[in-house]
Structure 1
């Protein structure tokens, strides 16, 4: 997953309509690296599409289940 640190977004409608809000750590790209069965696992991480982005890795249960672990690299 590639994330950007800060981004200002103008809000057009809803309770925050007309305001500009600051968002942090926006996910720009989500890539499945493979399936983990509890044993050792190695994967090649894709290069971020834009400069200045960081890479985060999450280990998540199947079918969008709970997140077991996460790290920012």
Structure 2
């Protein structure tokens, strides 16, 4: 599967994202991830350098990515 960067606006400056996790986004989360490969479901609050990221789940299969994309109407 080509790398996808999917998201949906949740309101109140919150965005639900399904995408590979960049080093910058990982740093913004403040969380420690042993294996940053694959896709991550995360919520972003705010914009730019002041945004915060909360990692909700790591997704390891293309089928799961497709299911989450459909379930959450990610585009």
- TM-score normalized with structure 1 length: 0.30
Task: Identify the structure with the greater helix proportion.
Answer: 2
Larger radius of gyration: 1
Greater share of strand:
1
